Amino acid sequence: MDSKGSAGGPSGGPGEPPSAGPSAGLDWLAEAAPDPEACRREWHRGGAGLLLLPAGRRWDVLLVAGSLGRPALAALARHPGRPGPVYADFGGEHLGFLVPVGTAARWLGTGVRTAGNGSWIVVPHPAGRGSGVRWLVPPDGSGRLTDPALLEFALHEAAADLVHPCR
């Protein structure tokens, strides 16, 4: 779902998936920039493939330590549907889950950093041309974001597995 609560994105008709892929993901990410066209030009120029984008316009970000975020992402993968975009920072120390706008202001979970309105984050090119920061679940242009309630459940499940790995 997008930040407005709908599936978002163009589609060929009812029941058909929205356009997908790196180009659609790039366009979707660029729309969060203060100047979307400048953002697109910068990414098309090549470079490192990393850009600084504001959170709180199209999505917020929940940043989780990699040791908890990776099992949480695996737990999300076991549920119906697919999580929204998720990126890993340099060395996979942290995972960033893109969630609906407003989530950062309401999040109460311990050990989770938030990036919402007024925050800026480094994001990689959707095609994965950069090094270091990379997408684990790249944006596909659909506007899909990770459901915060489902992410909270996955984080609890992952934490329980870390404490009791044989359960």
pLDDT digits (tens, 9 = 90+) for 70-104: 999 999 998 888 899 999 988 889 999 999 999 99
- 10-14, 64-68, 102-106, 114-118: segment of lowest average pLDDT: 10-14
What pairs with residue 87 in β-bridges? 96, 135
How distant, in Å, are the alpha carbons of 16, 82, 94 from that of 142? Answer: 11, 12, 24
Question: Which pLDDT band, with edges at 50, 70 and 90, does 22 fall under?
Answer: low
Question: Which pLDDT band, with edges at 50, 70 and 90, does 167 fall under?
Answer: low
**What integer is the mean pLDDT of 134-154?**
94
Q: Residue with structure tokens 């992402």?
A: 73
pTM: 0.83
Percentage of the chain surpassing pLDDT 70? 80
Q: At what angle do helices 22-30 and 36-44 cross, to 10 degrees?
A: 140
